[in-house]
């Protein structure tokens, strides 16, 4: 199967990292395609940028030129999943949701360790809507911005471990979820450091997408996520204007 | 004070109606400016269109050429309020929130009477995030699309009264909230028909915006709704490309 | 319009302060009438006193000799609002409710800074019944009694700022609500000190009362708040016995 | 031990019935004293009357001339329990609370069958504050007022059975709670008719009061229910004015 | 009446202690029978052992050779109550439930002071299912295992007081519940030490069992707790194999 | 990898069916082993039988003679998962949990269609503890017992479709979950009949087990699900006594 792993921001480096993270534990016959939105912010750190990303991601998946079997939305805490579900017939997995859903099978409570404080309410709201907020022990911020995460890996590693440790010791977390799509590479190392399962949402989402694909189930089209009615929409997709030049989604192929 | 009443869709007729609805009960010194997003769908009936609208509304308010004192987001059930709150320093009132908050001061439970069934989960989620869902007796759909509402006013009037009646008699509603920004004109007539207070969210939002303005309070900038950090964002605003021609927001002035 | 701002206790000084606080941000054509209950405790600091106040306030508003357009119940955390709503046809705004409802439009979570620890469960219960408790980050007590607040303003100011600071830094509050009807004068100063919006419930309630009046909506009379049936009630109003002497409500007129 | 069973209304006939209901299953060494408030409404059917009752009941128990070991508040859905708890050192059991707490040990969910529709939100709010609302399947109104219940016992019996039957068959109730202090006599007959346990709150409250007395535990005085501070309160108790004539509480002794 | 107080573990010493604790405040005509399960672990400190205990307790009560009127399940935090309710026609009181239900009548919030950290989620889940979790301020672990509690009473006493003190001062507890069936003897001493009501669940359960027995109500048999259908079950009861020798339940008689 | 799919009851036919259902969508390199508990009831239709099953399943997995990589607990609504998680180091997936967690990624709300009415509270409680109850639209019973399901497939098929249809049309379900481990074979047919995704919990659990195995994450051992301490437990496993005869788990191998 072919899964589009869609970065919420325009950083192609991060797209490549996300695709690599996604490919690590994918099934052998799963093809991972990293997709970068054609426009938007280079990193998502708030609601405004999150909403931009939601639309840019919708544009990236609907203008993607080839067939695919599932979408993984690789922004942790970003909005938009419901819109993408409306637009597509294939399963759409969001890493915030998928990681939380997997986490509750592994421990009594989980904590999210994320980037900056202002991301916390965005994450809270998704967990609330997902209906799984009661199993979340805490959402802890490292204080590191999305773009800082990769600049000083040593610092990132240390801050993740510090906050995870507090989550376990004081908040009662038994599982740690990495609260940013760009933190995938740190999971196993952090797991070794703190002694509880650590979940990278991209892996969780890929595995759940594979599960749906194998089972032959996809988004329900009976009501909430039914296809939008035909309408004369302007301004979307933006990339239509550049259809003669740059491709809509820059898509480094990774994996099998 | 000057309030921008922002239609979520591109229908200028509906913008004019919303501005007129907003002006009905505004203070004498409140200037109501109807704003139409520069792009997007002509009516919002689902998540995809709602997310488009969120961004188009953010574009409309940030490119609006003159100063203003508050924003009323006139889409019922549409996402985006948190993003607009980040971008602006003035109070931002959303009609879904404002109508529910006013309703709970008038009766034990309220019901929302809205357009189509697929709008129900969108509304549910906003009420859940607002933290007021427990006071909502029900969300009932008339089955009429946003664009149908104005085509056959007789039918709209009848269907609103039918669903409001069931909400009162079977669901225990004591207040009715009109679940679409385009239903403003029907409030007083429906109130007379069913015998309970009927709230048009646009009026509720205008009055709450006036309240904040008079009191001198606005959106907290300490964390969730702090200004976005400066970043090189592409694709927003779209209207920048047309800065030499069409104005960003078509803004019919209504009211004082 | 004429709004009765009803002090829950018998302190006429505090009534005057509340009326002054209410008048600060009222519309020019709003007449604020401070009303003191004819009997009861000189300050409310618990359930027993709160229930006395509920009845004394009901007596004050039903025996008030002139017409009025709305009632603001100026006791923070005090019971009784539902009873007053039954008895009157005009809108009844309670400052505990009104301040919380306004607060959620300005920040992700709010905290209440109140008087003494034993007031906390009373406030909790009102927020729970109002249906807005999930948006409350914390209720913090300064340890200062109702009557102490005005005796040492310097101390009050300092303790409010200290608890508000902890609420913001540790509990995640983005808005502060003043948890006592007698704290109105401190709002703007505290706002300047802590850097987040600070809400005096009396102002919030006055503005929401003005909103309802302007819109022409009032308490739903269909069920919960329907007028009480006629019955031979004894002992209420108490002031009937003194109808030949002291007036029921001592009402210093303040404002326009 | 001596238990005051306090009728919320001024009907001495109903006080006698409540005392009789309370005595039915009391321990042999429990003395039941029915207490009628010295003033208030002859029946409680709404918030206003409920708040009057709260204060009148507080007056009745604080002016009761002899020692007692516990109080049972026999009004179903009436407010006031927290105030009485503050005023007394002995255990205070409220029939709304006590019946619900007993019910959850006997079945998965319980339903309340009460008098009139407008009593429903009052009951809902007490169950919510008690923290047991999630185990309540439904609150169903017979449409019979408090004073009607005894006028036509045949009708009362039939309506109780009809609503209990619907609660069991459609709402999933496994236990029925009688939602009015004056319905005590109907419990065993209704239980025989519908085949599930039926709980009269007065019995539940008496047994829980006996339990606390036997165990030697009473209301916590550490915070919420600490004794009120000394204050110069006016207007309470009202009956002080008649101390030379009528006794504060008319108290028919029933039981051992 | 005769109440079986069933120890969840196989320690006959602890059974005797539990029976003694149960007898302390029982009615004079209540006969307390301590019952030890015929197999299982000598102390319950986790889910696995809890489930074993659930079945062993079911075996103990169904093979008990003489009639009885109620069952008290004396394991704090242990599962199984619903199964025992299915199997019997007499009331079944669980100490986790009973203590919490009694506690909410005595204070605004209660805290549980229990044995080891891993017991906390088991207790949380029972409170959640009972529907009373919102009134629980905290569940605090002393770090002492079930079997350690009796080995060093001095230490147990000290740790209980320390955690209870924190629960009162920091978590807002107004009532303390002893979170282990083997802690009964410490209630009054702890109550004296910390100044709030302290509840031993065994006493609470005995008193509620007496209440049901006196009132003549028992487990609802209409649905959830209906008798199991007849089936050819193997492996239960285990003790059937030993019917020629050791008695199923070793039952030291205590009390009246 | 090797997954034990553990039937909660002793019917070897049903074990074979479950193993077959599990194998349908398993990865090619997944070996499915159906396991039948060595004792217990031939079908689980209530709490008592559920608790027996919990222990018998714990016995089956701990006495299973060969290594395995994950466990799927194939009883829908049955207790025990936490105990099995304590006992093992490999991931343990429960079909009630797994199906609900997958369902929320495919639609706004899901409904469970199960066997008999008395199974409903058992399922409710698991969804509540899992923390996903708010996304469950309804739990509907067909009225068919576990053993009836396979006797008349025509009837089963019809009743499933009828209840699923009501769940979709009246309760707002967008996904249907099969609420019995023995219904696996009906998923695709029912999906075709009602037009929404239908989930067999066994498939969901197998896919999530495969996901954890591939990712290298398993049950957190830090607290709730830590290995039980060593203790002298009697009566478990029962099958130890028959170690010379019948094997503990009858395990038909199915799949790759």
* Residue pairs spanning E and F at CB distance below 8 A: 136
Of C146, E104, C7, the residue nearest D225 (C-alpha): E104
Q: Which chain F residue lies closest to D107 (C-alpha atoms)?
A: F121
The predicted-structure confidence for F81-100, as pLDDT tens digits, reads as follows: 999 999 999 999 999 999 99
> What is each CA distance from D126 to C149, C216, D99, in whole angstroms?
32, 32, 12
Report the percent of chain A where pLDDT is more than 70. 93
Q: What is the pTM of this model?
A: 0.94
> In this complex, is the C-beta atom of A108 within 8 Å of any C-beta atom belonging to chain E?
yes
On chain B, the residues whose CB falls within 8 A of the CB of A122 are: 82, 224
Question: How far is residue F256's CA from residue F245's CA, in Å, rounded to a whole number?
Answer: 29
Which residues on chain B are in Cβ contact (under 8 Å) with C167?
none
Mutate to test the interface with F, among B121, B134, B166 (most CBs of F within 10 A): B121
Per-position DSSP letters for A162-225, written without gaps between them: HHHHHHHHHS--SEEEEESGGGGGGHHHHHHHHSS-EEEHHHHHHHHHHHHHHHT-----SSTT
H and E: helices and strands count for chain C: 9, 9
Predicted confidence band of residue C249 (pLDDT cuts 50, 70, 90)? very low
**Neighbours of D (≥3 Cβ pairs closer than 8 A)?**
B, C, E, F
Residue of E52, E58, E122 lying closest to F233 (CB–CB): E52
3-state helix vs strand vs coil in chain B, percent to 5: 45, 15, 40
CA angle (B57 as vertex; B52, B62 as ends), nearest 5:
130
Residues of chain B with pLDDT under 70: 240-256
> Is F243 at the interface with chain B, CB within 8 A?
no
* Structure tokens, F219: 């049950």
Residues of chain C by 3-state class (helix, strand, coil), percent to 5: 45, 15, 40
Helix or strand run (H / E) with residue B4: strand B2-6
**What pLDDT is recorded for position C3?**
98
Q: Chain F closest CA to E85's CA: distance in Å?
A: 9
- C-E C-beta contacts closer than 8 Å: 3
Please report which confidence band the pLDDT of residue F146 belongs to, taking 50, 70 and 90 as the band edges. Answer: confident
> Would you place residue A240 in the very low, low, confident or very high pLDDT band (cuts 50, 70, 90)?
low
Instruction: Report how far residue B161's alpha carbon sits from residue F177's, in angstroms, rounded to the nearest whole number.
Output: 36
Strand partners, B139: B112
- Hey, which bits of B48-202 come out as E strands? 70-73, 92-94, 110-114, 136-141, 175-179, 198-200
Q: What is the mean pLDDT of residues F136-165?
A: 92
pLDDT value at residue A229 = 87
Query: Is the Cβ of E120 closer than 8 Å to some Cβ of chain A?
Result: yes
Provide the pLDDT for residue A176.
Answer: 98
3-state helix, strand, coil in chain E (%, to 5): 45, 15, 40
Q: Which of E97, E198, E222 sits opposite D105 (nearest CB)?
A: E97
Contacts of B84 in chain A (CB under 8 A): 48
Gap between the Cα atoms of C94 and C209, Å rounded: 10
CB A70 within 8 A of CB A35: no
**Distance from C-alpha of B68 to C-alpha of B75, rounded to nearest angstrom:** 19
Query: What are C37-96's pLDDT values in tens digits?
Result: 999 999 999 999 999 999 999 999 999 999 999 999 999 999 999 999 999 999 999 999
Report phi then psi at C112, rounded to 5.
Answer: -105, 130
Chain E hits for A108, Cβ within 8 Å: 121
Please indicate whether residue A252 or residue C30 has the higher confidence score (pLDDT): C30
ipTM of the complex: 0.93
Test the A interface: residue of E121, E122, E125 with most A CBs within 10 Å:
E121
Cα–Cα dist D94/D86, whole Å = 14
Q: Output the CA–CA distances (angstroms, integers) from residue F182 to F19, F113, F127, F209, in the order listed.
A: 10, 12, 19, 19
- Give CA–CA dist E98/E70, Å, rounded: 14
Any A CB within 8 A of F154 CB: no
Closest alpha carbon to C142 in C128, C122, C156: C156
Cβ–Cβ contact A228 with C under 8 A: no
Of B79, B122, B236, the CB nearest to A52: B236
Looking at chain A, which subunits does it touch, using at least 3 CB pairs closer than 8 Å as the criterion? B, C, E, F
Q: Do A45 and B229 touch (CB under 8 A)?
A: yes
pLDDT at B149: 80
- With beta carbons under 8 A apart, name residues in chain A contacting E121: 108-109
Task: Say if the Cβ atoms of B118 and A233 lie within 8 Å.
Answer: no
F31 beta partners: F2, F255
Mean pLDDT of successive 10-residue stretches along chain D, which has 256 residues: 97 95 97 97 95 97 97 97 98 98 98 95 95 95 86 93 98 97 92 98 98 98 94 86 40 41
With CA atoms as reference, the chain E residue closest to A135 would be E121
The answer to whether the CB atoms of D27 and E27 lie below 8 A apart is yes
pLDDT of the residue at E184 = 85
**B120 touching chain F per CB within 8 A:** yes
Cβ count within 10 A of residue D216: 13
Residue of B nearest to D124 (CA): B108
Cβ-proximal residues to D203 (8 Å cutoff; 6+ apart), any chain: D21, D22, D24, D25, D184, D187, E215
pLDDT at residue C105 greater than cutoff 50? yes
Structure-block tokens of residue A38 = 């054609």
Partner residue facing C86 (CB), from D47, D83, D84:
D47
Categorize the per-residue pLDDT at F240 as very low, low, confident or very high, splitting at 50, 70 and 90: low
3-state secondary structure of A35: strand
Pick from A25, A175, A224: CB nearest F214: A25
Q: How many helices (H) and strands (E) are present in chain B, helices listed first?
A: 8, 9
Element (H, E) at B255: strand B253-255
The percent of residues in chain F predicted with pLDDT above 90, rounded, is: 86
How does B200-235 read in b/e, with b if 16+ C-beta sit within 10 Å?
Answer: bbbbbbbbbbbbbbbbebbbbbbbbbbebeebebeb
d(C-alpha B240, C-alpha F164), whole Å: 51
What is the pLDDT confidence band of residue A255, given thresholds at 50, 70 and 90?
very low
Write out chain F residues lying below 8 Å of D170, CB-based: none
Parallel, antiparallel or unpaired: strands A70-73 and B2-6: unpaired
Tell me the shortest Cα–Cα distance from F197 to chain B, in angstroms: 17
What's the rounded Cα separation, in Å, for the pair D161 and E37? 42
Contacts with F, A 30-89, CB within 8 Å: none
CA distance E98 to E190: 19
Helix count (H) and strand count (E) of chain D? 8, 9
Contacts (Cβ under 8 Å, ≥6 apart) of A109: A135, A136, A137, A171, A172, A173, A174, A175, E121
Q: What is the pLDDT of residue A219?
A: 98
**What are E201-229's pLDDT values in tens digits?**
999 999 999 999 999 999 999 999 999 98
Closest CA to C43 of C84, C3, C15: C15
CB crowding C27-53: b at 16 or more within 10 Å, else e: beebbbbbbbbbbbbbbbbbbbbbbbb
Give the pair of three-digit tokens for residue B191.
């109130």
pLDDT > 90? residue E250: no
A-chain residues near B228 (CB < 8 A)? 45-46, 48-49
Nearest residue to E93 (alpha-carbon basis) of E177, E84, E175, D198: E84
Contacts of A83 in chain B (CB under 8 A): 46-48, 50-51
Distance (Å) of CA B9 to CA B74, B98, B201: 9, 19, 16
Given a cut of 70, whether residue E247 has pLDDT beyond it is no
pLDDT tens digits, residue range C162-208? Answer: 999 999 999 999 999 999 998 988 999 999 999 999 999 999 999 99
Q: What is the pLDDT of residue B140?
A: 98
Is the CB of residue E197 less than 8 Å away from at least one CB of chain C?
Answer: no
Whether chains E and B touch (3+ CB pairs under 8 A) is answered by: no
Under 8 Å between Cβ of A168 and A174:
yes
CA–CA separation, A20 and A33 (whole Å)? 9
Q: List, as own/partner pairs, every contact residues B154-160 make where C-beta atoms lie below 8 angstroms and the sequence separation is at least 24, other chains included.
A: B156/B183, B156/B186, B157/B186, B157/B189, B157/B190, B160/B113, B160/B186, B160/B190
pLDDT tens digits for range E154-168: 999 999 999 999 999
What is the bridge-based pairing of β-strands A253-255 and A31-35? Answer: antiparallel
Neighbours of chain B (3+ CB pairs under 8 A): A, C, D, F
For chain B, how many residues are written?
256
pLDDT at A246 over 80: no
Q: CA gyration radius for chain F?
A: 17
A93 and chain C: CB distance < 8 Å anywhere?
A: no
Question: Which residues of chain E does D104 touch, with a Cβ-Cβ cutoff of 8 Å?
Answer: 97, 101, 130-131
| Contact between F88 and F70 (Cβ < 8 Å) | no
Going by C-beta distance under 8 Å and a sequence separation of 6 or more, which residues neighbour residue A179?
A76, A77, A112, A113, A114, A115, A119, A123, A139
Contacts of B109 in chain D (CB under 8 A): 121
- Please write the tens of the pLDDT for every residue from D119-152: 999 999 999 999 999 999 999 999 998 778 878 8
A121 in contact with C, Cβ within 8 Å: yes
Checking if the pLDDT of F103 tops 60, the result is yes
Task: Say if residue C107's pLDDT is above 50.
Answer: yes
Give the position of tokens 């009560």. Answer: E61
Confidence check: pLDDT of E194 > 60:
yes
Q: Among B212-216, C174-178, E127-131, F245-249, which stretch is predicted with the lowest mean pLDDT?
A: F245-249
How distant, in Å, are the alpha carbons of C114, E135, E167 from that of E161?
30, 21, 10
Are B117 and A223 an interchain contact pair (Cβ–Cβ within 8 Å)?
yes
Q: Which residues of E touch F83 (CB under 8 A)?
A: 46-48, 50-51
Give tens-digit pLDDT for E116-126. Answer: 999 999 999 99
pLDDT band at E241 (very low <50, low <70, confident <90, very high): very low
Whether C255 and C28 have beta carbons less than 8 Å apart is answered as no
CB of B108 less than 8 A from some CB of D:
yes
The predicted-structure confidence for A128-157, as pLDDT tens digits, reads as follows 999 999 999 999 999 998 778 878 899 999
B30-56: b (≥16 Cβ within 10 Å) or e: bbbbbbbbbbbbbbbbbbbbbbbbbbb
Residue D240 is predicted with a pLDDT of 55
**Chains A–B, number of C-beta pairs less than 8 Å apart:** 138
F145 touches chain D (CB under 8 A): no
How many CB pairs (< 8 A) connect A and F? 152
Partners of A128 on chain B (C-beta within 8 Å) are 128-129
| CB proximity E250 to D under 8 Å | no
3-state secondary structure of E138: strand
Contact C208/B25, CB-based, under 8 Å? no
The verdict on E128 touching F (C-beta cutoff 8 Å) is: yes
Residues 6+ apart with CB under 8 A from A147: A11, A42, A43
Are the CB atoms for D17 and D184 separated by under 8 Å? yes
């Amino acid at each position: 199967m072919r899964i589009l792993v869609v970065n919420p921001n325009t950083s192609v480096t991060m797209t490549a990292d996300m695709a690599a993270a996604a490919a690590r534990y994918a099934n052998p016959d799963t093809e991972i395609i990293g997709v970068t939105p054609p426009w938007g912010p280079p990193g998502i750190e708030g609601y405004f940028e999150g909403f931009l990303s939601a639309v840019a991601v919708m544009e990236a998946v609907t203008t993607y030129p080839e067939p695919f079997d599932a979408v993984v939305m690789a922004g942790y805490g970003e909005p938009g999943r419901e819109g993408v579900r409306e637009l597509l017939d294939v399963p759409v997995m969001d890493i915030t949701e998928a990681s939380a859903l997997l986490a509750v099978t592994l421990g009594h409570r989980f904590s999210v360790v994320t980037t900056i404080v202002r991301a916390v309410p965005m994450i809270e709201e998704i967990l609330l809507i997902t209906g799984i907020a009661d199993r979340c022990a805490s959402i802890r911020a490292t204080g590191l911005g999305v773009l800082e995460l990769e600049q000083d890996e040593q610092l990132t590693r240390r801050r993740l471990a510090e906050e995870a440790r507090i989550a376990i010791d004081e908040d009662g977390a038994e599982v740690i979820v990495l609260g940013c799509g760009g933190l995938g590479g740190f999971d196993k190392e952090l797991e070794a450091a703190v002694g509880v399962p650590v979940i990278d949402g991209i892996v969780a989402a890929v595995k759940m997408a594979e599960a749906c694909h194998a089972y032959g189930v996809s988004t329900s089209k009976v009501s909430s996520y039914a296809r939008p009615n035909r309408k004369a929409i302007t301004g979307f997709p933006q990339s239509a204007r550049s259809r003669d030049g740059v491709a809509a989604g820059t898509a480094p192929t990774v994996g099998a």
